[in-house]
């Protein structure tokens, strides 16, 4: 059903959707003709078709590969303790400076208001 619905969508409809989204092409670039395969790509494809690899082998090639792991409670506690220790070390290394040494943060709204105030004197 989905396949039939997709196949009933015209080229013009798809083109208009792209145009409405801002994907415009010049008239020279628009072509209704199918693209020709590069000969080297066709040769590579033919090599792949002649291999002995089965689809099932391709799909399950990484089945035994560990992509995620489960941490034990002890490992989680160790990680948290390491983070806490690193935070404590970082706090001891921090140079406590006077907050007055830093320039205050000015928001865009405040900056625009200041500029408008200056403009009123010009």
Give the pLDDT confidence of 73-113 residue by residue, as tens digits. Answer: 999 999 999 888 887 765 555 556 666 667 778 889 999 99
List of residues 6+ apart from 11 with CB closer than 8 A = 32
The domain spans of the chain are: 1-28
- The arithmetic mean of pLDDT across residues 15-39, rounded, is 70
Query: How high is the pLDDT of residue 77?
Result: 93
Burial string for 47-67 (b: 16+ CB within 10 Å, else e) reads eeeeeeeeeeeeeeeeeeeee
- The arithmetic mean of pLDDT across residues 36-44, rounded, is 71
């Amino acid at each position: 059903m989905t396949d039939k619905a997709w196949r009933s969508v015209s080229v013009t409809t798809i083109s208009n959707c792209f145009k409405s989204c801002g994907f415009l092409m010049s008239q020279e670039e628009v072509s209704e003709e199918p693209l020709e395969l590069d000969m080297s790509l066709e040769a590579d494809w033919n090599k792949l078709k002649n291999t002995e690899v089965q689809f099932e082998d391709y799909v399950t090639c990484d089945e035994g590969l560990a992509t995620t792991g489960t941490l034990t409670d002890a490992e989680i506690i160790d990680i948290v303790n390491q983070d806490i220790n690193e935070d404590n070390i970082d706090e001891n290394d921090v140079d406590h400076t006077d907050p007055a040494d830093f320039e205050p943060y000015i928001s865009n709204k405040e900056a625009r208001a200041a500029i408008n105030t200056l403009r009123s004197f010009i």
